[in-house]
Structure 1
Amino acid sequence: MTARRVIIQYCPVPPGLERYVTALFYCDVDLGADERLHDVLCPDWATFRFHYGAPVRATTRSGSRIDGSCFTVSGPRTQEVRFSMGAARQWGFRVSPLGWAALVDAPAYLYADRLIDGDHDPVFARFMPLHDLLADPGVSPGAHLDCLIAFLAGLDLRDVPHEALIAAIGEAVLDPELRTAVDLAAAVGAHPRMVERVCRAAFGFSPKLLLRRQRFLRSVEQFTEAPALKWIGAMDEAYHDQAQFVRDFKAFMGMTPREYAALDKPLTETLMRERVRLGRTGMGRRFRAG
């Protein structure tokens, strides 16, 4: 059997794009001819992936699935995604809620917790040329990264109603001191009903669910960064007790924290460590163009 090689590289998002694109990444998986990796992704913002190689298969608990698509879109999620892939490489980017509103001509709630074949949904037609632009394996990753950045920077942005409010909500939900939808509305200085409407349109979910999801993700990131803490030490301070944390974990991941920790996660462990590193340093290593 060929030795397993997994490379995941998060790349710096240049100024001007960072309000709309929160991550640019490259993935290269080298396996034996018939070998496949199986893994699970945590909830996340909307992500676009361009796939080259053995087909990728993915499913959500709600029944959404993709099988063999070369251009996939994952809408904003509050559920895990179980997936498998063989030897392949991927380019991708993750968009912020403001990025979704500015780049996608559809409200986010219509695509929440969904996996989409981007080649067959006209909403995502403007991104389809990227697959061919990033396809040549003889081109260096650095040159492909430059191509990806130039393409995204050249897209026309939609007029976004309540743009300042979307940006304010995006910042506020990261505040661990905010515990309720009322707290969130007060923090951004808007009526709770307005915050509800804007959250569904740009973020995909209600304010209450967004705050719950963020509390959960902070816990997962802390566990990833310092697994010696174990779950009890990584649990976010906003949780009342361990039982509440376990209930949230099951709601977002479909399994207990213990079951998740026991899984073989050949891709997502590398991915999460890279995301934590990037979040801590504020930047990623730049591919050499040559």
Structure 2
Amino acid sequence: MELRYFLPRADLRQFVRAYYYFSTETPSIQPLCAELGNIRVLLNGGGVLSTPNGENHKISQAFLIGPTLGAYTMAADAGTRVFGVGIRPQGWGMLIGMEADEAADQVIDLSAFAGGRAATHIEAIRCARDFDTMATAADRFFSNLLAMRRRELNSYPQALEKWLMDPNEPGLDALVTAMDVSRRQTDRLAKKFFGASPKFLQRKYRALRAADRVRSGAENWMDAAGQGFYDQSHFIKEFRSFIGVTPKQFITNQAELISEIQMRRRQKQPDFFLGSL
């Protein structure tokens, strides 16, 4: 298995968290943790994605997978190679032009939202001879989308992002105050950009922070869990729901790909948790 990460062009990084390349020479079944959203371009091979809503999707040439509301599974055939793009919450309005909750747990053909423009750029990525050329082709694609949707830029809720990144997990009242809009509007904006309600998103971030602590060598479940879990049973249940395996399984090779993804994103991105969902 090979996994590489590349940063997009500087002016795209608030919308696109990273480009990545995945390949496997042998058949591979891997759990994947809950994420924000990805575009994936199949270069070779194939496989099946089993999304949290119980649906199985054969991997097509190019597709968008919306924010996943729980852990899911990828079964990749031998020889599979994929170029992927991680979409940040701000990228949903600016690049995708679709509300995140509409795409949650969905696998959507790339041309369904990008039309003919997508086909040209997909072909450029698939025909590229090296990773840098793939990233350059992706930069051109997103630059074109960005130029079309600049008017969406000022609508992104920075206060919501800051609230989710806070390891102290402030309450919902603190978020509503910071947003300076009604509770109903706060909920709507969370679903538009992140795909779910604030309280659900806070659960996801809590589990991902715990996974990072497990990977970093937390000595016991309480050190790994941090705040917000009632007891060990609650911790394990939430961990498995959003990460796809138990904490014990996470530190074995059963979660090799998740752990590798976490480590490489941490190396590339200081705002790791925002990019990891």
TM-score (norm 2): 0.86
Q: CA RMSD in A?
A: 2.5
Give the 5 Å matches for 1:1-290: 6-29=1-24, 31=25, 35-85=26-76, 86-119=78-111, 122-125=112-115, 126-136=117-127, 139-155=129-145, 156-158=147-149, 163-224=154-215, 226-227=216-217, 229-253=219-243, 255-262=245-252, 264-280=254-270
Structure 1 position 243, deviation (Å): 3.0
Letter in 2 for 1:227: G
Number of equivalenced pairs:
269
Corresponding letter in the other structure for 2:82: Q
**Structure with a larger share of its residues in helix:** 2
Q: Which amino acid aligns with 1:11?
A: F
Following TM superposition, where does structure 1 have runs of at least 4 consecutive aligned residues deviating by more than 6 angstroms?
A: none
Cα 1:230–1:129 shift into 2, 3 Å: farther
- 1:235 to partner: Cα distance: 1.6
Unaligned stretches of 5+ in structure 2? 273-277
TM-score, structure 1 length as denominator? Answer: 0.82
Return closer, same or farther for 1:69/1:267 CA change in 2, 3 Å cut-off: same
Q: Where in structure 1 are there 5+ consecutive unaligned residues?
A: 1-5, 283-290
Q: Could you tell me how far apart the structure 2 residues matched to 1:64 and 1:163 are? A: 35
Give me the whole-angstrom Cα distance separating, in 2, the residues matched to 1:134 and 1:161: 27
CA 1:267 to 1:251, structure 2 compared with 1: closer, same or farther past 3 Å?
A: closer
Percentage identity across paired residues of the two chains: 22
C-alpha separation in 2, matches of 1:64 and 1:124 = 24
Closer, same or farther in 2 for the Cα pair 1:71/1:206, shift >3 Å? same
Give the aligned residue type for 1:154: N
206-215 vs 139-148, which moves further: 139-148
Q: 1:254 to 1:44 in 2, by over 3 A?
A: closer
Distance in 2 (alpha carbons) for counterparts of 1:175 and 1:127? 36
Query: Structure 1 pair 151/178, CA: closer, same or farther in 2 (3 Å)?
Result: same
- CA–CA distance in structure 2, aligned partners of residues 110 and 149 of structure 1: 25
Measured in 1, the distance between the counterparts of 2:233 and 2:5 equals 34
Q: Distance in 2 between matches of 1:259 and 1:116?
A: 31
Q: Deviations over 1:63-97 (max 9, x none)?
A: 23221311122101121121111212221111111
Offset at residue 40 of structure 1 (A): 0.9
Distance 2:57 2:161 in 1: 29
Secondary structure (helix, strand or coil) at the match of 1:205 reads: coil
